[in-house]
Amino acid sequence: MQVFNPYDMAVQQFELAADKLELSEDMREILRKPKRELTVNFPVRFDSGRIKTMTGYRVQHNVNRGPAKGGIRYSPDVTLDEVKALAMWMTWKCAVVGIPYGGAKGGVICDPKDMTASELERMTRRFTTEISIVIGPHSDIPAPDVNTNSQVMAWMMDTYSMHAGFSVPAVVTGKPLSIGGSEGRNEATATGVLFTTRRAAQRIGMPLKGARVSLQGFGNAGSGAARLFHAEGCKIVAVSDSAGGLYNESGLDPVAVQRHKLVHGTVATYPQGQRVSIPDVLTVPCDILIPAATEGMITQHNAEQVQARIIAEAANGPTTPEADVILFKKGSLVIPDILANAGGVTVSYFEWVQDLQSLFWDNTEITSRLEVIMNKAFDAVADQADLYNCDMRLGANMLAISRVAEATQIRGIYP
Ligand SMILES: NC(=O)C1=CN([C@@H]2O[C@H](COP(=O)(O)OP(=O)(O)OC[C@H]3O[C@@H](n4cnc5c(N)ncnc54)[C@H](OP(=O)(O)O)[C@@H]3O)[C@@H](O)[C@H]2O)C=CC1
Ligand SMILES: O=C(O)CCC(=O)C(=O)O
């Protein structure tokens, strides 16, 4: 069986859009590969007293539209190819919503669930030191991703600042409010998913009130989306995390489910519902499906069984190109990751701007600015897809790649 490789998938998506744009081979040659790939092996002392050498990565895909931007992931499954794919998707994401950044991503191979808080802090501080040769408030600005959060960002900001000799809040985003974080960043990814889904629902004439929603992943993006869609009047019929899934056709209360997860470690054992497998949540009867876990979940093997009319990709890379073809044929509307989950990086951009000017905005200002950007990007992508009679992923990639190519062309290539 072929092993799933996210970078191969990202390149495949890129080539599809490049073909449609009739992009020159020279430009493809530049945009296909990341600009920088840093691998670091660094020692971390565990609480037992033993030292373990950890491996981490920071990849900058493209910086022609601005500094590199993208999250840091902690997981046993992190690979260089995964980080390269995620960095490329960040480039297209920032371009599709029109914020002045290039794309980057980072990760450390580790199992954070098996580490204590002090082990995590030591690992984060040493990793930050190792990648400090490439990150900075004007060069490359990390943020949270899978298994990292505002506390990890605070340690990163503090470590970078210790080396600088003064506080550099703009070196990372997704920080706690008390050290230069932004209102709205915590729920920004989920808010962007809601804004784009509202737009999609209007387009196909589906009322959100009463719509059945199934979610895969119940972390920052997934649990936030569950709460916001529930508040919008949707019925949350299925949820899942890495331990399993839960289905209840009468609807779940996401706040109660979250409380249960805090105590018991998983949503799967919440008593009011029927246990299902993780892949099952993708194919249960629902109107809106929100994949909010990791890559390669909707494939040619299960795409036909997906029942949702709208698939709003909170996760990066949840759908393979083969599955895209099946979903488009079926008439499912996929709001692609680089658009659906771009609320996170957009509010990160607001955080960075606020940090650089040391002047902070309130939540109303953040949310209304975010809504304007997300709606504008959604409409541009939907129009592009209509124009070319293609799915929204191809439309979004075409828009994004043409913007990055234009910036690359106009800056010129050093002879
Ligand atoms: N945080 C952000 O701002 C942004 C995140 N994203 C993307 O959203 C997705 C989720 O990120 P985020 O919510 O931040 O991460 P979190 O670590 O907060 O949550 C991840 C969730 O996915 C679950 N999960 C992990 N692996 C699997 C698996 N193999 N099968 C099923 N469930 C799994 C986790 O389970 P458990 O709870 O058991 O660990 C957890 O519930 C990622 O693709 C990320 O890149 C995109 C844009 C911004
Ligand atoms: O907020 C950011 O800078 C990036 C978040 C992220 O990693 C993502 O959008 O995938």
Which tens digit of pLDDT belongs to each residue from 33-65?
999 999 999 999 999 999 999 999 999 999 999
Q: Is 145's pLDDT higher than 90?
A: yes
**241, 246, 260, 348, best to mutate for ligand 1 pocket (most atoms within 8 Å of CB):** 241
Please tell me the distance from the alpha carbon of residue 185 to that of residue 150, in angstroms, as a whole number: 10
User: Ligand 1 centroid vs 12 CA: distance in angstroms?
Assistant: 23
- DSSP 8-state class, residue 6: H
For 68-124, write each residue's pLDDT tens digit. Answer: 999 999 999 999 999 999 999 999 999 999 999 999 999 999 999 999 999 999 999
Predicted local distance difference test score (pLDDT) of residue 118: 98
Q: Is 2's pLDDT higher than 80?
A: no
91 is in an annotated binding site: no
Predicted local distance difference test score (pLDDT) of residue 333: 98
Among the atoms of ligand 1, which is closest to the Cα of residue 221?
Answer: 13
Buried b (16+ CB within 10 A) or exposed e, 122-149: bbbbbbbbbbbebbbbeebbbbbbbbbe
pLDDT over 90 percentage in the chain? 99
Query: Strand, coil or helix: what is 85?
Result: helix
CB 314 within 8 A of CB 145: no
Q: Is 415's pLDDT higher than 90?
A: no
Q: Is the dihedral of CA 93, 96, 101, 102 positive or negative?
A: positive
Q: Is 414's pLDDT higher than 90?
A: no
167 is in an annotated binding site: no
Among the atoms of ligand 1, which is closest to the Cα of residue 293?
Answer: 22
CB 336 within 8 A of CB 392: yes
148 lines ligand 2 (CB under 6 A): no
User: Ligand 1 centroid vs 251 CA: distance in angstroms?
Assistant: 22
Nearest to 87 by CA among 105, 108, 113: 105
Among protein residues, the one whose CA lies closest to atom 1 of ligand 2 = 345
**What average pLDDT score do residues 204-228 get?**
98
**What average pLDDT score do residues 159-167 get?**
98
User: Ligand 2 centroid vs 70 CA: distance in angstroms?
Assistant: 4
Predicted local distance difference test score (pLDDT) of residue 78: 98
Buried b (16+ CB within 10 A) or exposed e, 305-343: ebebbbbbbbbbbbbbbebbebbbeeebbbbbbbbbbbb
Please tell me the distance from the alpha carbon of residue 291 to that of residue 294, in angstroms, as a whole number: 8
348 lines ligand 2 (CB under 6 A): yes
pLDDT confidence band for 371 (50 / 70 / 90): very high
Query: How crowded is residue 404: how many other Cβ atoms within 10 Å of its Cβ?
Result: 24
**73, 147, 189, 260, best to mutate for ligand 1 pocket (most atoms within 8 Å of CB):** 189
Among protein residues, the one whose CA lies closest to atom 4 of ligand 2 = 70
Active site residues: 105
Please tell me the distance from the alpha carbon of residue 383 to that of residue 387, in angstroms, as a whole number: 6
User: Ligand 2 centroid vs 207 CA: distance in angstroms?
Assistant: 29
**59, 69, 89, 145, best to mutate for ligand 1 pocket (most atoms within 8 Å of CB):** 145
Among protein residues, the one whose CA lies closest to atom 9 of ligand 1 = 315
pLDDT confidence band for 1 (50 / 70 / 90): low
93 is in an annotated binding site: yes
- DSSP 8-state class, residue 217: -
Q: Is 214's pLDDT higher than 70?
A: yes
CB 12 within 8 A of CB 321: yes
21 lines ligand 1 (CB under 6 A): no
pTM above 0.90, yes or no: yes
Query: How crowded is residue 285: how many other Cβ atoms within 10 Å of its Cβ?
Result: 12
Predicted local distance difference test score (pLDDT) of residue 367: 98
> How does the average pLDDT of the chain come out, rounded?
98
**Domains of the chain: residue spans and CATH:** 32-168 (3.40.50.10860), 188-340 (3.40.50.720)
220 is in an annotated binding site: yes
Predicted local distance difference test score (pLDDT) of residue 368: 98
313 lines ligand 2 (CB under 6 A): no
337 lines ligand 1 (CB under 6 A): no
Q: What residues contact residue 204 under an 8 Å CB cut-off, 6+ apart? A: 309, 310, 333
Query: How crowded is residue 386: how many other Cβ atoms within 10 Å of its Cβ?
Result: 12
User: Ligand 1 centroid vs 291 CA: distance in angstroms?
Assistant: 9
Q: 188-204 vs 220-231: helix axis angle to the nearest 10? A: 50
Q: Is the dihedral of CA 94, 99, 101, 102 positive or negative?
A: positive
The kind and range of the H/E element at 22 are none
For 292-340, write each residue's pLDDT tens digit. Answer: 999 999 999 999 999 999 999 999 999 999 999 999 999 999 999 999 9
Please tell me the distance from the alpha carbon of residue 363 to that of residue 59, in angstroms, as a whole number: 32
Q: What share of the chain is helix, strand, coil (3-state, %, to 5)?
A: 50, 20, 30
Query: Strand, coil or helix: what is 274?
Result: strand
Predicted local distance difference test score (pLDDT) of residue 3: 87
ipTM of this complex: 0.99
Both tokens of residue 137? 């408030």
- DSSP 8-state class, residue 317: S
173 lines ligand 2 (CB under 6 A): yes
71 lines ligand 2 (CB under 6 A): yes
Q: Is 202's pLDDT higher than 80?
A: yes
**What average pLDDT score do residues 150-173 get?**
98
**What average pLDDT score do residues 165-183 get?**
98
Please tell me the distance from the alpha carbon of residue 42 to that of residue 55, in angstroms, as a whole number: 7
